[in-house]
Amino acid sequence: GENVEQHPSTLSVQEGDSAVIKCTYSDSASNYFPWYKQELGKRPQLIIDIRSNVGEKKDQRIAVTLNKTAKHFSLHITETQPEDSAVYFCAASGPGGSYIPTFGRGTSLIVHP
């Protein structure tokens, strides 16, 4: 089955800095890569996603890049703000796994004011 590795497990930045979270996946058939943000005590919420036919996608301060050959994808947050502090999860899904997302272990992002 699919295996998703996520790094780093903790990321501490100063307000205004950029943050980058990286994930790798194992199943070359995976074709959909969502990112979720989970605040303390709340449900994971989708913040951005990318399909395998696209190399990069941007939405305001967040962007995701995908390298299919290397089987890795990354989340980039620019101009970080304290409210960006949360746990971020990457996931991968595709026909090999009945389109059920496999999640990474999460990155705890702390943005210091």
Partner 1 sequence: DTGVSQNPRHKITKRGQNVTFRCDPISEHNRLYWYRQTLGQGPEFLTYFQNEAQLEKSRLLSDRFSAERPKGSFSTLEIQRTEQGDSAMYLCASSLGSGSEYRPFGQGTRLTVV
Residues that bind partner 1 (CB under 8 A): 4, 6, 32, 34, 42-46, 49, 89, 91, 98-106
The least distance separating partner 1 from the CB of residue 18, rounded to whole angstroms, comes to: 23
With respect to partner 1, which residue has the nearer C-beta, 80 or 93?
Answer: 93
With respect to partner 1, which residue has the nearer C-beta, 40 or 70?
Answer: 40
At residue 36, what is the residue type?
A: Y
The least distance separating partner 1 from the CB of residue 100, rounded to whole angstroms, comes to: 5
At residue 31, what is the residue type?
A: N
